[in-house]
Amino acid sequence: MKKLSLLLLASLLSACGVTTGTTDLKEFVDEVMSQPRGVIAPLPVFEPYEAFSYSATGLRSPFDLPINLDEVIKQTTPDSDIQPDLNRSKEQLEQYPFGSFSMVGTIKREKDQLWALVSVPDSGIHKIKEGYYMGQNHGKVIRVSQQRIDIIEIVPNGVGGWLERPRSLVLAGVEEE
């Protein structure tokens, strides 16, 4: 029995060494290897980026009509002598910009004088009436009503003069007319 199993094992091992059935695979590999090799194209030459500095940002747009600056200055130069009283002492509400104010109500004082209540962030609520000043542009209160405060500001016109600009502060929660 030992001899038989040893003989069987030897025949199996000799069958593994037989190279039948792989000759076609070897022929295919030899044929592919004998063909000329492909050529890989070289990498393109890298051209460095050249930065472009746009220097016409301060110039007039080419899509706008040309303007005559002398005519613009003549149109904006006021014929009046409007100017703020720079010698007047500043009031408390003149240190805040106009956009920081909000009207929160009104009260009637003696002789039916109507006062407006104005809220300023970080400063609380202030009462003002006609003739008071508020805002950083020399704004004088010219009218106080139940729903709004009308103010005339004196602002520079850009060519050495001054302009009067009307502004209104509307009661919080009320739409402006």
For 107-170, the DSSP string reads: EE-GGG-EEEEEEETTTEEEEE-TT-EETTTTEEEEEE-SSEEEEEEEEE-SSS-EEEEEEEEE
Element (H, E) at 88: none
Q: Is there a contact between 128 and 138 (Cβ–Cβ < 8 Å)?
A: no
pLDDT tens digits, residue range 111-152? 778 999 999 988 899 999 999 999 999 999 999 999 999 999
pTM of the model: 0.53
Q: Comparing C-alpha atoms, which of 142, 145, 34, 47 is closest to residue 153? A: 142
Q: Which domains does the chain have, with CATH numbers?
A: 98-170 (2.30.30.830)
| pLDDT 10s digits, 47-88 | 898 888 877 777 777 787 776 766 665 665 555 678 888 898
